[in-house]
Amino acid sequence: MFAYGFLISGCNSFKVESIFKTHEIVIDGNDEDWSDAKYYIKKHDIVLGVMNDNDFLYLCFYPTTSELTRQVLSQGLTLWINNDAKRKKNYGIRFPLGMQNLMNQPMPEENGNQSRKSDPKNGKVDPKMMDRMVKSISKELEIISQGSEQKEVIKFADLNGVEIGITFEKELFAYELKIPLADNPDFTASIGADPTSKIALGFEVPEPDKEAMKEQMKEMDEMGDRPSGGRPGGSGDKGMGKGGMQGDASNKTQQSEQGLDIWTIIQLVEN
């Protein structure tokens, strides 16, 4: 799990070509179904997989650093979708919804001591805290339309035509999305495209609320829940296992301060 194929070193906008789906894709967040259908976007430390068939678009997305993973989980991620291949934030799917209030929940104790430790300011993440964040993800998504004027939260159990699967391994979070190409009033969401279309997808993680982060740090200090130093969680130092890589420290710091806002133009393909 968590290996990638083609390298893209571009800026905030890049082009990729989808691969026609020729085998079953299980929507469970695991990228083992994707083989060579993934792109590593080096500047932003993310991996994106794209496939389509005649009826659906399939996406696989995950950050390649624990720091960016934490940001996605805490701030939320919006996938903006445009069937005219233009960068417009008119219609999107938000998932995860974000966990800004997670730090206000009681911290579980282990052997009499608080066991989840994290330092958002320095980008240090404890794997147990990450695991707790993933398990706390609400199984629901938000449909955003008309330029954020309309928002509707929908539980996974009520989705029709749309599937989302998530997984967590080695401090990294990944999810897969299956969404219909053609419009249908019975579907929860769709792209409004056909297998010959060129579409635009935007991936947005809001810029962190610095005042909220300061308040969280203050609460952690009061609880004695700040790490004393060093890098928590040894597995993060080994990258991503099968072919993974970590970005440099300056890039991670910039990401944690600025959020994420990138776009890709995708050429769909027909059989």
Q: Angle at CA 94, nearest 5°, toward 53 and 9?
A: 65
Q: At what angle do helices 127-135 and 66-75 cross, to 10 degrees?
A: 30
| Three-class DSSP category at 188 | coil
Q: Show the DSSP H helices in 41-147 as ranges.
A: 66-75, 127-135
Q: What is the pLDDT of residues 98-149, one digit of tens each?
A: 875 444 444 344 433 333 344 544 455 567 777 777 778 889 999 999 877 8
Amino acid 252 reads K
pLDDT at 153 over 60: yes
Distance of CA 264 to the CA centre of its chain: 15
Rg (CA), the chain: 19
When comparing pLDDT for 271 and 211, which is higher? 271
**33-47, 151-165, 253-267 — which is least confidently predicted?**
253-267
Q: What is the pLDDT of residues 217-241, one digit of tens each?
A: 555 455 444 433 332 232 333 223 2
When comparing pLDDT for 5 and 142, which is higher? 142
Indicate the pTM of the whole model.
0.74
Domain ranges of the chain: 6-267
Work out the end-to-end distance of the chain between its first and last CA atoms, rounded to an integer number of angstroms.
28
